[in-house]
Structure 1
Amino acid sequence: MPRADADAASPGLGRRLRAALSWLHLWAGLSVGTLFALVSLSGTVLVFHSDLLRLRHPQLAQHAPVADAAVLAGLVERWAPQGLRSLDLPQAELPVWQGYFEDGSRALFAPEDGALLLYRTTRDDALLWLRDLHTRLLGGETGEGILGLAGWCALGLLATGLYLWWPKRGRLLAQLKLHAGPPVRRWLTWHRSSGVLLLPLLLLATLTGVGMIYSAGFRAALTSAFGGSPVPAPAQAQGGDAIAWPEVLARAERGLPAARLSRVSVPKAGSGAVNFRVRAEGEWHPVGRSQVAIAADGRGVLQVYDATRNGLGSRASDAIYPLHIGAVGGPAMKWITALAGLLPSFLLVTGFLFWRRRRGHR
C-alpha cells in the first residue's frame, strides 16, 4: 500500500511514525551525516588519485611502460626483505613499477633500471593519508568497523529521507520544486529535492562502499543468489629460491589470451610459484580479478582463472570496487562519481540550515 494511502487509513499512526522518523533522520543526519560527508569528500579527491599523483610528480609519466624481467628480478631481490609484497607492472596510465609494502607504504620505481623515484607513506603523502581516512578512518580494523556501521546508517538516512519526501497522489512535481524563500522553505526544498533527484548516485556510492567493507558477506550473498564459484587461492608449489624471471614473465603474458598482466605477488622464500593478477578483456576492475600462476622455473602454467567466465554473482561482486571508484564508463563516470562524493556535504549543510531556521522560528 502506498504511504499516502496507509497514512490516510490510520492518520494517528502515520503522524506518529512520520514524527519519529523525522526526528531520527534529523539527528542521525547531523551526527552520522557529518562523518558520511567527511568520508565522501575524501572519496571525491581519491577518484582522481592517479591524475593528482602524476600532476604532483610529473617525472613519473616520463617513462616508457616496459616491464623488463631483469628489472623485476632486481626489485624483488632488493626490496622483498624490506616488506615488499606486490608490484604493479608499468602501464600507460602510470608507466612505472609501483610497489606495495606490508606496512601500507608504496614506492615507485623506474622501469628502465628499477631506481627509486618516490617513496610514499600516510605520514608524508596527502593522497595516501586521505585513502587511509576514506577506507579505515585512520584507525585500522577498528576504524573500518566504525565506517561499516556508519555506512549502514547512511543507507538508513537515504531510506528515511525518501519516505519523508514521498508525495501524495498528484503532488510529485510540487514536491520536487525548489523554492527561493522564505529561508526555512528554501533549505528544506533544496535538501529534499536534490536528495531525491540524485538518490541513485548516492545509493550507488554508499552501497558499493558498504559492499567493499563487508566484501566476503556481499560476495557470499551474491553468489548464493545469482551463481558463481569462489576465487581460487594463490597457487603454491615446491621449489627453490631461484626464479627464472624472464621465462616466468614471458609465460605469464601468454597465460590468458587477450589479457593484460597487472600485478605480481612477491613469492615467499622457497616458493615454487609466481602469482599474477591479470585484467581479462571485458573486466571493469582496473587491476583485474583474473589470475595466472607460473612455476618458478618458468616451465609450466600452474593455474589460470578467468574472472569473466565465473557466474553472475561473482561478476557482480567483482564490479563493486570499480563502480565505487568510477572506473566504469570513462571520464564522464569519473566526474559523476566525484559529484556523488560532494552530495552528502550539500545535504548536511542544507539540512542543518533548515533545522537552524526552523528552530529560530519556534
Structure 2
Amino acid sequence: MRKLHLFFALSLGLFFVILGLSGGVLVFRAELQQAALPQVKLSVLELDNDAQLLPGPDQLFARLKTEFPDARLRSLKLPQRLMDPYLMTVSYQEQGKTRLEQFLVDPLGGKVGRQADFTSPSEAWIYELHSSLFLATPGTFLVGAIGTGLLVLLLLGLGIWGQGLVAAGPEQAKAWLMMSGRARGKGRLALLHRVLGFYFSPLLLLLVASGVLLVFREDILAPFETTRHELHHSETAGENAGHHQSTTEDISTKNCVGVPDIEDYLYQAEQVFPTGVATFIRFPRSKEQPVNVTLRQPGEVPSPLGLSRVLLEMNCGTVVGQQNGLALDWSQTLIERTVALHNGSYWGPAGRLLYAFAGFLPLFFMVTGVLFWRRRKNQTGREVTKIAQS
C-alpha cells in the first residue's frame, strides 16, 4: 500500500499542487470578476437623495440604443450590488452581419462599455489552468482523470494511516491523532503530514470527488437530470418561499394591458416568488417562446444567479411556467449541491475561507511527503550498509 501511495504521489503530486493552488484562488472568483467591473462612486448624501431617481433597466437600454439603434436585448443580468453595472447581451447589425455582444451599462448615467474591456485576465488565466490545464476539452478530461487518481492517493493515505493506528495499539493511539511536542526537524514534518492528512482528508476527498463528478457530469450526473423543458409545460405555480399559494391561472387570467417592458416582466416574476429577488432575464428569439426570469430565494442552494425561474408569455407578460428553487427534485438538487460543494459557496464565507486554506494543503503534503520519503530512504540505506559491514 505504501508503494502504491508513493507511486501516485510522485506521479500526480505536482498536478495536485497546481489544482489545489488554483482552486484556492478561484474560491474568490466572483470577487476577481467584480473587481474588474467599472465602479460608480456616489456619496452617501447623493444616494439618499437620488436613490428613487436612478434610471431603471428600460431607461438604460434606451440609452444603449442611442449608440446601437437596431440593438435587440437578448438577456440582462441585474446588479448584485446597488451601484454595480447592468450586464446587457444584445444583438445588432454591423456591416450587414448580426453580432452578439455584451455591454456594461452604468446604473447612474447610462454610460455604455463593452464587457470585453472589463474582464479579469488573471481570473480567466487561473480558471483555464484549473479546469483544463490550458488544453481545452482534452485538458478537461485530463483533469478528471487526474482527479480520479488523486482520490486513490487520498484513500491509500487513509489506509496507511489506519494500518499504523492498528499496529500502534490503544496505548499509542494518541500519537496518531495529536502532535507530539518531542518531535523535531524532519520527524516533526512527517508527524504533521500524518496528523493533518487524517484531519483534512474528508475535506480533500469532498473537493476532489465533487470535481470529478463535475468533469464527468455527462456520464455520471446527466442520466439523473430532469429535463429543463418540463418547465415550459407547468400549469400551476406551487408553494413559494413565503408559503403563499399562487397558481399560474390566477396570474395568467389577468387582462393584458399594452406591451410589457423589462420591469413588467420582473414585477410579474417577483409576484410568483414574493421573497425572491430577480437576478437575470433572458428574452427568446421568437415571440412564441416565453421570457425566462431567474430569481434567488432565501434558503436556496447557493448559486451565482439563483435557482428559481419564472416563464412569462412575451406579448402579455402572463406566467406560463415556474421552477421553485426551494423545491427542486432530487436530481437537480444533487447537481446544484455538487457545484456549491466544489466551489465552497455551500458553506458561506467561512467555508470559502476554509477552502482557500485547503488549496495550500497539496503543496504542504507534497513537500512533507518528499522529506518523509527521503528520510525513510536514508534510514533504509544506512541499515543496509550496517548489515553489509557486519
TM-score with structure 2 length normalisation?
0.71
Unpaired runs of at least 5, structure 1: 1-20, 237-241
Query: Which has the higher mean CA deviation after the structures are superposed, 343-352 or 167-176?
Result: 167-176
1:11 corresponds in structure 2 to: none
2:149 corresponds in structure 1 to: 153
1:76-117, Cα deviation, whole Å (9 max, x unpaired): 9989x999975421122883224679xxx9764322455345
Question: Which amino acid is the alignment partner of residue 34 of structure 1?
Answer: L
For the residues of structure 2 that align with 1:144 and 1:285, how far apart are their CA atoms?
24
For the residues of structure 2 that align with 1:136 and 1:76, how far apart are their CA atoms?
38
Contact 2:37–2:118 (CA under 8 A) maintained in structure 1: no
CA shift, 1:325, in A, is 1.9
1:144 corresponds in structure 2 to: 140
Check if 1:348 corresponds to 2:366: yes
Flag the 1:345–1:57 CA change in 2: closer, same or farther, 3 A. Answer: same
For the residues of structure 2 that align with 1:172 and 1:266, how far apart are their CA atoms?
62
1:307-360, Cα deviation, whole Å (9 max, x unpaired): 321334432332122222222333212211211222112111111222233334
Flag the 1:360–1:160 CA change in 2: closer, same or farther, 3 A. Answer: same
1:5-24, Cα deviation, whole Å (9 max, x unpaired): xxxxxxxxxxxxxxxx2222
Aligned pairs for 1:205-244 (under 5 A) are 205-219=207-221, 229-232=226-229, 235=232, 244=261
For the residues of structure 2 that align with 1:61 and 1:202, how far apart are their CA atoms?
41
Contact 2:60–2:105 (CA under 8 A) maintained in structure 1: no
CA shift, 1:261, in A, is 1.5
Instruction: For residue 278 of structure 1, give the secondary structure of its aligned residue in structure 2.
Output: strand
1:274-302, Cα deviation, whole Å (9 max, x unpaired): 22222233112232222212222243222
Contact 1:280–1:290 (CA under 8 A) maintained in structure 2: yes
1:260 corresponds in structure 2 to: 277
Contact 1:66–1:95 (CA under 8 A) maintained in structure 2: no
Q: Aligned residues, how many?
A: 332
Flag the 1:70–1:201 CA change in 2: closer, same or farther, 3 A. Answer: same
2:130 corresponds in structure 1 to: 134
Check if 1:92 corresponds to 2:81: yes
Contact 2:64–2:112 (CA under 8 A) maintained in structure 1: no
For the residues of structure 1 that align with 2:204 and 2:83, how far apart are their CA atoms?
30
Flag the 1:98–1:204 CA change in 2: closer, same or farther, 3 A. Answer: farther
Flag the 1:57–1:295 CA change in 2: closer, same or farther, 3 A. Answer: closer
Q: Which of the residues 12, 21, 38 maps onto 1:41?
A: 21
CA shift, 1:258, in A, is 1.6
Flag the 1:247–1:203 CA change in 2: closer, same or farther, 3 A. Answer: same
Aligned pairs for 1:292-331 (under 5 A) are 292-331=310-349
Flag the 1:138–1:189 CA change in 2: closer, same or farther, 3 A. Answer: same
CA shift, 1:195, in A, is 1.0
For the residues of structure 2 that align with 1:343 and 1:349, how far apart are their CA atoms?
10
TM-score with structure 1 length normalisation?
0.76
CA shift, 1:119, in A, is 3.5
Instruction: Report which of the two structures shows the higher radius of gyration computed on alpha carbons.
Output: 2
2:291 corresponds in structure 1 to: 274
Flag the 1:319–1:84 CA change in 2: closer, same or farther, 3 A. Answer: farther
Query: Which has the higher mean CA deviation after the structures are superposed, 131-140 or 263-272?
Result: 263-272
Contact 1:275–1:291 (CA under 8 A) maintained in structure 2: yes
Instruction: For residue 308 of structure 1, give the secondary structure of its aligned residue in structure 2.
Output: coil
Query: Which has the higher mean CA deviation after the structures are superposed, 346-355 or 247-256?
Result: 247-256
Q: Which of the residues 198, 201, 222 maps onto 1:199?
A: 201
1:150-197, Cα deviation, whole Å (9 max, x unpaired): 111111111010001111141432223436656553332221211111
Contact 2:103–2:115 (CA under 8 A) maintained in structure 1: yes
Question: Which amino acid is the alignment partner of residue 201 of structure 1?
Answer: L
1:23 corresponds in structure 2 to: 3
Contact 2:88–2:102 (CA under 8 A) maintained in structure 1: yes
Please tell me the root mean square deviation across aligned C-alpha atoms, in Å. 3.9
Unpaired runs of at least 5, structure 2: 91-100, 234-258, 382-390
For the residues of structure 1 that align with 2:149 and 2:177, how far apart are their CA atoms?
25
Contact 1:122–1:132 (CA under 8 A) maintained in structure 2: no
Contact 1:292–1:303 (CA under 8 A) maintained in structure 2: yes
Query: Which has the higher mean CA deviation after the structures are superposed, 125-134 or 277-286?
Result: 277-286
CA shift, 1:124, in A, is 6.2
For the residues of structure 2 that align with 1:338 and 1:53, how far apart are their CA atoms?
17
Question: Which amino acid is the alignment partner of residue 263 of structure 1?
Answer: F
Contact 1:76–1:84 (CA under 8 A) maintained in structure 2: no
Question: Which amino acid is the alignment partner of residue 115 of structure 2?
Answer: Y
User: What is the percent sequence identity of the aligned residues?
Assistant: 28
For the residues of structure 1 that align with 2:82 and 2:352, how far apart are their CA atoms?
15
